[in-house]
Chain A
Amino acid sequence: MISFTLFNYWAVIVLMMVGFYTLISRDNLVKKLIGLNIFQTSVIMMYVSIGKITGGTAPILMESGDHGGEVAVDAGHAAVEVLYSNPIPHVLMLTAIVVGVATLALGLSLVVRINEAYGTIEEDEIARKDNAR
């Protein structure tokens, strides 16, 4: 199989560049925002890849269903040492996704207002109308 040590990062970079290309090559503002969204999701994938540990599991602590503190801790020590993936990138990216939708909504509302003011959402036509004034 292909060397897997860096394949994930390269694939994520390819996706990132797909989003970046959409962002800079298209004139349509909605298309640009979709490209920005793809770029953002790829950055999130990059962070989550950094947090992944091979053979690890989701960072939800395993133990018996007992809610008593000491019993649970004892059971945890007795069990086989479980390998958990790094929870920090997950926390950071969780919040980044929600901020992403907030910025997306703000961008889309600007697109709506631009459409009402110019009658178009194509960037080159907007520039032409601006220059004609």
Chain B
Amino acid sequence: MDDRVILRIGTKILSPFILIFALYVQFHGDYGPGGGFQAGVIFAAAFVLYALVFGLGNAIKVMPPKVAYICGAMGVVIYLGVGYLSMFRGGEFLNYSYLFDPEHDPTHGQHYGIIGIELGVLVTVFGVMVALFYAFAGRRRIDT
């Protein structure tokens, strides 16, 4: 493992840019191709790359599996939370127009609602992808 200098240095240089690119894809999804699904996968790809190069043990120190599991569940909660919030503010479930004063400007609420649910999708997809990778990589081969 120690002689793969180019791989290790390359990973260290690339990882922050992959994470930043994921955030760009997330928040630029309104204006161009992208959104929560793609951003979540790219965000997870940074950790998968780290685990492939530095080994699963080090990756688990950076990103414990429990955090990934919680992320996977929290994203759904965030999504549902946006839906219930618009319900408690007088609209229908997931009717984001009611998130802010609907008489004033319903598109305001729509915009924040979409940002909210995209955040939920990002968190779920990220957590699920990292958890799936850990599940497969953490299992040892049995020779029968």
Contact = CB atoms under 8 A, between A and B. Distances in A.
Given A60-B32, A116-B142, A119-B144, A98 B135 contact: no
B37 A112 contact: no
Interface string A89-133: 000001101100010010011001001100100000000000000
Contacts, number: 23
B71 interface: no
B128 interface: yes
A2 B125 CA distance: 43
Contacts of A97: 37
B104 to A, nearest CB: 13
A112 B128 contact: no
Contact of A109 (B31, B33, B107, B136): B136
B136 A108 contact: yes
B139 interface: yes
B70 interface: no
B37 A105 contact: no
Contact of A105 (B132, B139, B142): B132
Contacts of A102: 128
A131 B7 CA distance: 49
Interface in B43-87: none
23 contacts: A58-B33, A60-B31, A60-B32, A60-B33, A69-B107, A94-B35, A94-B37, A95-B37, A97-B37, A98-B37, A98-B125, A102-B128, A105-B132, A105-B136, A108-B136, A109-B135, A109-B136, A112-B136, A112-B139, A115-B142, A116-B142, A116-B144, A119-B144
Given A109-B135, A109-B136, A116-B144, 11 more contacts: A58-B33, A60-B32, A60-B33, A97-B37, A98-B37, A98-B125, A105-B132, A105-B136, A112-B139, A115-B142, A119-B144
Interface of A: 58, 60, 69, 94-95, 97-98, 102, 105, 108-109, 112, 115-116, 119
Interface of B: 31-33, 35, 37, 107, 125, 128, 132, 135-136, 139, 142, 144
